[in-house]
Structure 1
Amino acid sequence: MTATDDGLAAEYAAIYAYGAATVHLDGDPRWVAESLEAEHRSRRDALLDYYDANGLDAPPALAGYDFEPLTDAEGAQQLLLEVEANVTTVWRAGLGSEPEVRELCLDMYIDAAVALARWRIAIGSAAADPWPGRPE
Structure 2
Amino acid sequence: MTVVDTGLAGEYAAIHAYGTAAVHLSGAPRDLAEALEAEHRDRRDALLDFYDGHGMEAAPAQASYDIDPIGDAEAAQALLLDVEERLATTWRAGVASEEPAEREICLNMLTASAEALARWRIAVGEAAAAPWPGRPA
| Global fold match (TM > 0.5) | yes
**Shift of residue 77, structure 1, vs aligned partner:** 0.5
Q: How does 1:48-127 map to 2 (within 5 A)?
A: 48-98=48-98, 99-127=100-128
Unpaired runs of at least 5, structure 1: none
Please report the TM-score for the alignment, with normalisation by the length of structure 1: 0.97
Which residue identity is paired with 1:126? Answer: A
Of structures 1 and 2, the one with the larger relative CO (CA 8 A, separation 6+) is 1
Query: How far, CA to CA, are the matches of 2:84 and 2:17 in structure 1?
Result: 10
Q: How many residues align?
A: 136
Q: What percent of counterpart residues are identical? A: 65
Shift of 1:64: 1.1
> TM-score, normalising length from structure 2?
0.96
| 1:38 matched to 2:38 | yes
User: What SS does the corresponding residue of 1:96 show, helix, strand or coil?
Assistant: coil
Aligned residue number for residue 12 of structure 2: 12
**How far apart, CA to CA, are the structure 1 residues paired with 2:42 and 2:77?**
21
Moved over 2 A (4+): none
Moved more, 59-68 or 78-87: 59-68
* Deviation (angstroms), 1:100: 2.5
